[in-house]
Structure 1
Amino acid sequence: MLNDFTGADKVYIACRYTDLWRGIDGLTSIVQQQFQLDPFTDTLFLFCGRRKDRIKGLCWEKGGFILLYKRLEQGVYQRSRSESEVRALTPQQYRWLMGGPKIEQPKAHKEVTGLSCVV
């Protein structure tokens, strides 16, 4: 479900570990109070536990929250080491995290933003 998640316009990941015992109310309070973001938007918020093999996703959908939980059988998620508390992920970074499970892929092809033609 999280691997194929396309129901959100934006994706944010908490850069520090989160107590995954928290439920919907606890995670929405983190989004509002610590990140200063609105949890009632078309956004997926990701939270990693201390053990790094578990991740929770929180998103708003038509009158209610969805709480997703994934535990890896092998390996760990590589959280961002950013100084900020929350980091926006591009769609490619999200796919890398869910399939990799690293956010950064140093050998990946750079995204082309404009084309120039040499004649």
Structure 2
Amino acid sequence: MIIDYTKVEQIYLVCGKTDMRKSIDALAAIIQDQFNINVFDNCLFLFCGGSRNKYKALHWDGDGFLLLYKRIEGGVIQWPRTTQEVRNISQRELRWLLEGLTLEQPKAIQKVAPAAFC
């Protein structure tokens, strides 16, 4: 099964290094114990190893957990290294991250609230 990340309500990035040997239960425990987030919500949780060329995605699909694991062969992910932090990111930021870009893109056109016409 493939996760359509455009359908999840929240995308959480667990900053810093995560031991890529951790199982579903261990990753779910990190989310619940360290960050007090319900792992059974319609969310996608992302973890990255120390070499920044591997990441795992954890998602509850209603009857079980999906654990995706990817190893990048030609580059690294620009993963935030702040430890003990979880960040809520947008689908746009996730796309940037998985394409090898940083989460902060200074030249990207930023979303703005519409101004009232006078």
TM-score range, shorter chain: 0.7 to 0.9
Residues of 2 paired with 1:27 and 1:52: CA distance?
A: 17
- What is the percent sequence identity of the aligned residues? 41
Residues of 2 paired with 1:50 and 1:108: CA distance?
A: 28
Gaps of 5+ in 1: none
| CA RMSD in angstroms, aligned pairs only | 1.9
State the 1:101 CA deviation.
Answer: 3.5
Greater displacement, 22-31 / 79-88: 79-88
Q: Across the two proteins, how many residue pairs are aligned to each other?
A: 117
Where in structure 1 do 4 or more consecutive aligned residues deviate above 4 Å? 81-84
Residues of 2 paired with 1:115 and 1:98: CA distance?
A: 33
Equivalent residues of 1:13, 1:45 under 8 A apart: yes
So what's the TM-score if we normalise by structure 2?
0.88
Residues 1:77 and 2:77 aligned together: yes
Q: What SS does the aligned partner of 1:92 have?
A: helix
Aligned residue identity for 1:77 = I
Q: What's 1:55 paired with?
A: 55
Residues of 1 paired with 2:87 and 2:55: CA distance?
A: 15
For the structure 1 residues 113 and 83, does the alpha-carbon distance in structure 2 shift closer, same or farther, using more than 3 Å as the test?
Answer: farther
Gaps of 5+ in 2: none
Residues of 2 paired with 1:43 and 1:51: CA distance?
A: 25
State the 1:110 CA deviation.
Answer: 1.2
State the 1:37 CA deviation.
Answer: 0.5
Aligned residue identity for 2:107 = K
Q: What's 1:106 paired with?
A: 106
Residues of 2 paired with 1:31 and 1:56: CA distance?
A: 13
